[in-house]
Amino acid sequence: MNLTPALVLDANILIRAVLGKRVRSLIETYAEHVRFFTPGACVTSAQEYLPDLAHRRGWPAERGLTLLARVCDWIEVVDNALYAAFEASARERMAGRDEDDWPVAAVALALDSPIWTEDRDFFGAGIATWTTDRVELYLRR
């Protein structure tokens, strides 16, 4: 039985890990003892948004994308094949919310792991969630 804690990260956490210090620091600090997962769709989404967000901060777009690649060194990017069987259930749980987030829900269901997010669309979807202000309680266990 594997007792290593695991967390599924959504795209907003990946972006926060790039643009801020707190999330990146938590991931780096706990990566040795916690498995972090994200669907490839979240990485793609972060890659799409980061150039504009970096530009708004006065950074070159490449800086945001380079930091994202560094953050992804600590995260396991999950292939669709792992969670495809959970798509219907995940879509059902995300119905009426941001339905594009179904891959995050599907990975969480497939791995029986909570989601680290700031996105309220996951709250009440029947999957445990952690927000950045509380996630360290989970990470320290």
In CATH, what number is assigned to the domain containing residue 122? 3.40.50.1010
* pLDDT tens column, 71-84: 999 999 999 999 99
Residue 1 resides in a domain: no
Dump pLDDT digits (tens) for 87-114: 999 999 999 887 889 999 999 999 999 9
Q: How far apart are CA 111 and CA 62, in angstroms?
A: 32
Q: What HEC string does the chain produce?
A: CCCCCEEEECHHHHHHHHHCCHHHHHHHHHCCCCEEEEEHHHHHHHHHHHHHHHHHCCCCHHHHHHHHHHHHCCEEEECHHHHHHHHHHHHHHHCCCCHHHHHHHHHHHHHCCCEECCCHHHCCCCCCEECCCCHHHHHCC
The predicted pLDDT at position 3 comes to: 66
* 129 within some domain: yes
Residue 141 has what pLDDT?
Answer: 79
Burial 57-69 (b: 16+ CB within 10 A, else e): eebeeeebbebbe
| Amino acid sitting at position 133 | D
Residue range(s) defining the domain that contains residue 79: 6-139
- Dist. CA 75–CA 62, nearest whole Å: 20
Q: Can you tell me which residue has the tokens 């119905």?
A: 95
Domain assignment present for 74: yes
Predicted confidence (pLDDT) at residue 50 exceeds the cutoff of 70: yes
Domain count, the chain: 1
At residue 112, the pLDDT reads 95
Q: Would 101 be classed as within a structural domain?
A: yes
